[in-house]
Amino acid sequence: GAVVSQHPSWVICKSGTSVKIECRSLDFQATTMFWYRQFPKQSLMLMATSNEGSKATYEQGVEKDKFLINHASLTLSTLTVTSAHPEDSSFYICSASPLTGGTEAFFGQGTRLTVV
Amino acid sequence: DAKTTQPPSMDCAEGRAANLPCNHSTISGNEYVYWYRQIHSQGPQYIIHGLKNNETNEMASLIITEDRKSSTLILPHATLRDTAVYYCIVRVGSSSNTGKLIFGQGTTLQVKP
C-alpha cells in the first residue's frame, strides 16, 4: 500500500514553545490530508482537513490559531502546535489518499507529543 | 458522531476465525463500509472496504448484509499479531481523495494463545 510518513515519531517540548510535525506522502500525491489527535485509551478525533494551496478546514472546537496547518505541496502537510501546554500532550496522526487509484486513506505512524 | 456501532471488546483463540460485527443502520446509498485497525501506539492500518458486495483480500473478508445495515469483518485465521482495535467506518467513497474518516470507539480484539 501507499506510504505516509510522519516526523518526528516523538517529541518532548517545554510548555510555551511551538512544535512542528510533518506529514509526507512518500509515493503518491494528495491534495487533501487529514490531521487527527488521540488521547490515551480513546479513539481518533479528526482535528482538521489540510488542503493543498488553500486554508485548512478545522473541526468544531479545534482552535485554528493554536494548531497551524500548512499544505505547501502535494506531498507535504505540516501541523504546528503553538504555545504548547501539557494538555496538548497527545498522539497526533495524519492521513492521506492518493489523487488516483483507490479510495482508502493511508495513515502515518503517528507523533507522540509530550509537553512538560 | 460516528455512524457505526461495534462491541467494545472481543476475544478469539489463535488460529480460529475472528468475526467482528458492525451496525450501520443509517448508512446512505453512496457510503462505503471501511475497516481499519490500530495496533497499540501506531497509526491505523487499512484492512478492507466495500459498498454492497462481499469483499475479500489477503487480510480479511467483509460480509455486508443485503439491506446494508450491518457488516462483519472476518479474519480467517487469527494470530497474536492481529490483537488490535478494529474500527468500522462509513464514508463516501469516490475516485477523488475527499471523504473524512470519523472514528467510533471500535472493537478491541484480543487474540489468545
Q: What is the pLDDT of residues A8-18, one digit of tens each?
A: 999 999 999 99
Q: Do A93 and B44 touch (CB under 8 A)?
A: yes
Q: Considering only CB atoms, which chain B residues are within 8 Å of A32?
A: 97-98
Q: What is the pLDDT of residue B80?
A: 97
Q: What is the pLDDT of residue B100?
A: 74
- Examine the pLDDT at B23 and tell me if it is beyond 90: yes
State how far Cα A46 lies from the chain centre: 10
Report which residue type is found at B4: T
Q: What is the pLDDT of residues A21-31, one digit of tens each?
A: 999 999 888 88
Q: What band does B95 get if pLDDT is binned at 50, 70 and 90? A: very low
CA distances from A27 to A5, A104, B7 (A): 10, 15, 36
